[in-house]
Amino acid sequence: MKPYVIINAAMSVDGKLDSIERRGAALSSAQDRRRVLELRAEVDAVLVGGKTLLRESPRLTVKLPELSQQRLARGLPENPAKVGIVTRAELDPRGDFVTAGPARRILFTTSQTPPDQLELLNSLGVEVFVQDGQRVDVAQALEMLAGLGLRRLMLEGGGTLIAEFIRLGLADELRVYLAPKIFGGVTAPTLVDGAGWLASAARPLRLIEARVLDETGGLLIHYEFL
């Protein structure tokens, strides 16, 4: 069975996940950062795409001791598993994705990843799944995650991987923090990038919740995919 997938991201009012610099510009408010950590604490695994992983090596942990304690009390590991989806892995072994935890670390990649990188990651305890093909087969990766007992997943971006999940009908919910900022720029990443699809194939959504999240004027918009 396919795991339940919640897409979560922060975007500017003009729909960008980052500025044209693509250096992981801050968008979340303090309240939104707290909301994201609480959501992480509720899921079995947190996923990110290759560009986000290689450029930012995100921590993806629940960070707050009270949240890890709550997980432990529920019989869960301190942090959700961290999952990277990357065509050609060149991870920094000292980066937060690899080192921050304790957390199970899982990587789906292709045979384009050099053997010495695979060896290095294995030696660091990262569970690596190598697929044939030009890019990672995301549906197959989700099946494998379900087989590992990971049933509730949070996809934290970027826009290319989010697009792939939506294109394949693999996403169940979309939670977006809308920051009162405008980044602009045709090359800045948007919430849903990729090649796009025809208007006739637009994915319908049902509103679950929309509310003002903080005094900066940031909004939380929460939909489910129909």
Ligand X SMILES: NC(=O)c1ccc[n+]([C@@H]2O[C@H](COP(=O)([O-])OP(=O)(O)OC[C@H]3O[C@@H](n4cnc5c(N)ncnc54)[C@H](OP(=O)(O)O)[C@@H]3O)[C@@H](O)[C@H]2O)c1
Structure token pair of residue 28: 């979340």
Binding mask 25-64 for ligand X (x = CB under 6 A): --x--------------------xxxxx------------
- CA-CA distance, 142 to 153, in Å (whole number)? 9
Does 17 help bind ligand X (rule: CB under 6 A)? Answer: yes
Binding mask 191-210 for ligand X (x = CB under 6 A): --x-----------------
Name which of 99 and 131 has its Cβ closer to ligand X: 131
Say if CB 103 and CB 126 are below 8 A apart.
Answer: no
Name which of 79 and 109 has its Cβ closer to ligand X: 109
Q: Which amino acid is at 107?
A: L
Structure token pair of residue 162: 């989010």
Of residues 59, 71, 135, 151, which one binds ligand X by CB under 6 A? 135
CB of 90 to ligand X, least distance (A): 10
169 contacts: CB under 8 Å, gap ≥ 6:
225
* Bridge partners of residue 219, in order along the sequence: 178, 212
Q: Locate tokens 């795409």: which residue?
A: 49
Name which of 76 and 220 has its Cβ closer to ligand X: 220
Structure token pair of residue 104: 């199970």
Angle formed by the axes of helices 138-147 and 159-167, nearest 10°: 80
Of residues 113, 164, 192, 218, which one binds ligand X by CB under 6 A? 164
Binding mask 69-108 for ligand X (x = CB under 6 A): ----------------xxxx--------------------
In angstroms, how far is CA 144 from the centroid of its own chain?
17
| Number of chain positions touching ligand X (CB under 6 A) | 28
Structure token pair of residue 122: 């294995």
CB of 23 to ligand X, least distance (A): 7
Phi, psi of 224 (to 5 degrees): -115, 150
- Residues lying near ligand X in the complex (CB under 6 A) are found at 9-10, 17-18, 22, 24, 27, 48-52, 85-88, 135-136, 138, 156-161, 164, 189, 193
